[in-house]
Amino acid sequence: MKTRGRPSTKAKKETVEVPVTSEPKTQLGPNVAHPPQLFILPEDISKDARIVSLENPRSSNDSRYLVCPERGFYEFTKVAAPKSTPRSLLLSSLDAKAVDNGDNAVEDSNDKLSSSGYIMRDAGLFVATPVDPLFFVLPVLAPVSASKHSDIPKKLFLSGEDYLNKVTTTSPHLSTLFRVDSLRVSIEKRMAAVCDTVDAGDETMYRLSEEKMMKELLKKAKKMSKKGLPASMEDKFIRKALEVPIMSIKREESSLKDEDTPADTPDTQTSTDTAASSFSEASTAATSFSEDSQGTATQTPKTPSIPSITAPDGVVDLLRLRTALFFICSNYIAPHLSETIKKLVLSPTSTVNFAPLEAHLVHLAKLRQEALAARQLGSTSQKRSLEEDEDGESRVEKKRKLEEEEKRKKAGESRGVKNLKKVNTTGMKKMSDFFKKK
């Protein structure tokens, strides 16, 4: 009997394919070939201030500076995030932000940000920091010779107008700014600090004095090193330069203990107590709190202690002063003039005596050479002892292999061969005698 099958009651599931689009939801604009840059300018700057291109006093290349007729010259220092952590900046106006009344939280409006906001791909910004206008006049006060074999140009008394005209030939953008009397007067005051002056009627003539220039730069270096150098410069140029090398390390011979020594011996107990006490001190330091007069607990962060520098009195301050002076010379003064300044500062005619510093640095250099020689001697002796140990071990290994080979040969010999070896062969001819020529 045939039966008709019932139709399936389960509805067939229709597979709906979702279209996959690789395009992002928000279309970004194309990259700009020359994106805008962010500059942080000082407050209350004059409306006549301009960002101009001037000749760099150190490299003689054109660089950007901010010149204000009332507040002087400014250089731009770039502040950027490390390349390992890429960042960006979101710039928007105050109209694109809504301030919450309760928590003072700022919420961005997407509609307004899309119209008034701007995202900078590079998070770097340029901060305007003041720079002494004296550095821009020094190249014309002490010009470099045309060639190595030519004579050094003679230093003549010239008026301030003549020197400013020489500055404008290399930096034409200053010609309009020098028309302001306040800016010209400030530059001439800085010129008078490093020059010998002569009054010629109603006009003052200037000529560079190397001694005055050295005193002025030393004054700047003292001001820079008075409050201490930055941490990176302090560690690289001060602490490492005055670090005393380790000549030798005393090592106490440790006696080997038997393996059957119980774990609760006095030595083991002492080391365990020491480790436990150090662990408790570390945990207490990490979670230390101090209660103030009102009874509230405040956390006292513990900064790592920096070891003090061991050096004679006055040597550390002299090294900081010299480092600050060399930093100024390497960033703001032409190479030919910076070499002259370094020679004058280290000469006996200098106002600051760097002889104690030089003597201590020579002493440290001698100690470093002795420490290096001791390390090399110790490494050679250690290498020689290791080679001797290796030779002794190789000899023992060869002897052991020979003994094992002899045992193996003896184990492979038959009983007849062993009996033949026991036979007395004295007086008997050898087999080779029968095959000799008669």
Tell me if residue 38 falls in helix, strand or coil: strand
Cβ partners under 8 Å of residue 385, min gap 6: none
User: In tens digits, what is the pLDDT along the chain, a chain of 438 residues?
Assistant: 555 556 555 555 555 565 555 666 666 667 777 778 888 999 888 888 989 999 999 988 889 999 998 889 999 998 888 888 888 888 887 664 443 333 433 334 444 444 567 788 888 889 999 999 999 999 999 887 655 555 566 778 888 889 999 998 888 888 888 888 888 899 999 999 999 999 888 889 999 998 999 999 999 999 999 888 888 888 888 888 888 877 655 444 444 444 444 444 444 344 334 433 433 333 333 333 333 334 444 444 454 556 677 777 888 889 999 999 999 999 999 988 888 888 888 888 788 888 888 888 888 888 888 888 887 777 776 666 666 666 667 777 888 888 888 888 777 777 777 777 777 777 777 777 777 776
Contact assessment for residue 367 and residue 244, using Cβ atoms and an 8 Å cutoff: yes
Domain boundary assignment for the chain: 217-239+311-385
Q: Give pairs for 370-373: CB < 8 Å, separation 24+.
A: 370/247, 371/245, 371/246, 371/247
Tell me if residue 413 falls in helix, strand or coil: coil
Give Rg (Cα) of the chain.
42
Tell me if residue 79 falls in helix, strand or coil: strand
Q: Whole-angstrom Cα distance, residue 167 to residue 171?
A: 6
Q: Return the biggest CA–CA distance within the chain.
A: 140
Q: What is the pTM of this model?
A: 0.61
How many CB atoms are located within 10 Å of the residue 191 CB? 23
- Positive or negative, the Cα torsion across 311, 312, 317, 323? negative
